[in-house]
Chain A
Amino acid sequence: MAINNTNNNTEPEQAHEVTIFAEPVFHVGNFQITNSLLNSWLAVLVIVVLCFALRRNLKQIPGKIQHIFEIFLEGAMSLCDQVTNDRRITLKIFPLVASLFIFILVNNWLGLLPIVGSVGFLANEAGHSVFVPIFRAGTADINTTLALSLAVVIASNIFGIMIIGAWKIFNKYVNIKALGGIVTKFRKDKSVIIVAPIAFFVGILELIGEMAKVASLSFRLFGNVFAGEVLLASMGAIFLYVLPAPFLFLEVFIGLIQALIFSLLAAVYFTIASQDHEEHEEEKHVAHA
């Protein structure tokens, strides 16, 4: 283990650059333990310890930590209510959305600690001595953000199946019902021959949209956190003192905002998945009639 500024004229040239991927620190059999995974474990430890501390000190008359948690819980639930417009859905999705927020936030903020990115060891890669930091922000690894995004999109669809049923969710993507409508509704409405294929195509677009959700969620978070790391490293390289401080504050803010965006978008996806569009359309038809 070494500190990254141990450059010495007698030592071979060392490369230290922020890589776009998480670097392996050690291996357990086939499984590589990366620096971002280590940071995630640290984040999990922090959160679990906090939760245990809270659980042990729960009282009817709240203390300081409980008070903060209660304010967070109330605020987060009212924010979630604003997205879902339905308290029942909020109650169902809130634990997942809130834990997403906390996990991402703690990962983002732990990535800003002084030990992250600066404490590491020198590894030999293709004849070059490369500095590998032991910790890297968990969300500065695409594996983390991609896993979370996939989980959110899959979970939102499962939630949709639980709320409105598997057939409706299936028809949302592969609109067999619309195609079947050509046969059943053609006598009444001739325009169905044009509308139904469009509806079917829209379903396929929805399917692509789900993939886009995964991409947008994962790359937004990864891009912002990784860009923050690069920015801080660049500022630190230009001038070690004072100059990085405002950017550090900016990163604290960005870490919070990104966690909030990710969790709010997750809440939006869950809400969209739990709404039956056909019912809305039928309601519209009734209203027009």
Chain B
Amino acid sequence: MYAQMVKSENTDSGPELDAFQARIDAGEKIEPKDWMPAGYRKTLIRQISQHAHSEIVGQLPEGNWITRAPTLERKAILLAKVQDEAGHGLYLYCAAETLGVSRDELTEMLLDGRMKYSSIFNYPTLTWADIGAIGWLVDGAAIMNQVPLQRTSYGPYARAMVRICKEESFHQRQGYDIMMKMAQGSEAQKRMAQDALNRYWYPSLMMFGPSDKESVHSAQSMKWRIKINSNDELRQKFVDQTVPQAEYLGLTVPDDNLRLNPETGHYEFSEPDWTEFFEVLNGNGPCNKERLEARNKAWDDGQWVRDGMMAHARKKAARAAASKVAAE
């Protein structure tokens, strides 16, 4: 997902921990000033900031098409969508900051590669149809994960998720709208739509992360209610929901093994190539280098603006203080 393979830490024990777990089991929200195990705090910082970084880096593949959107209306819509992603990143950074880290620290950890973002944003957007596929599939997969996270145990995280979910459904619909237009268009447009689905299908399935049946991290995170469903559960739900949407578009999901099991009512499907997933996660995807370079450049190029505005604010405050003294 936007937070993939988040390692969970469990180093605490004792009566405080039991009381903490009892609160979570009772469905209570944990708030910033409440006692929490160090492992809970660390895991959450990792998970929330990975999610925030994904929102920020996620602006890049779509930003690629803002200047080349086919109509002025599409351009305005895409601009609003990319602006939302920036907003989502900010909601999440502010949730992470309540745990005792600063946004600049988190940004620096992204920029020097100590922190990760979702694998999906390391794929290129080659055609306009990719913008449709991203909204439909990538935001669709994100929604699967984010809707349950509105009930996560950490208050600020849950509240950020509520805001994000409200806006996310616009994203998915605008993507599907693009796909509908393309799929009903000329032969060339249909081919473009099919090609986008072909390239984004498996990377979208990878977003949920590898099967976590035997993962210790998942078990701990689920106990803390910072992960609500298993990766496989969410992936299945995504496939079940998405296949009929592809059929409606008249497009073919690129999987020869895809079939509806009439007994379970669920689709059976091929696993994505997990070797590719780990390669992308470890920095060897098609766009990893480009994405990090773009973020580093934005950060470095913006330094004088951040400094200048801070200097201006200080000067203004000093001037106000001086005139107050003079008036007295």
A binds B: no
Using CB atoms and an 8 Å cutoff, list the residues of chain A in contact with chain B.
none
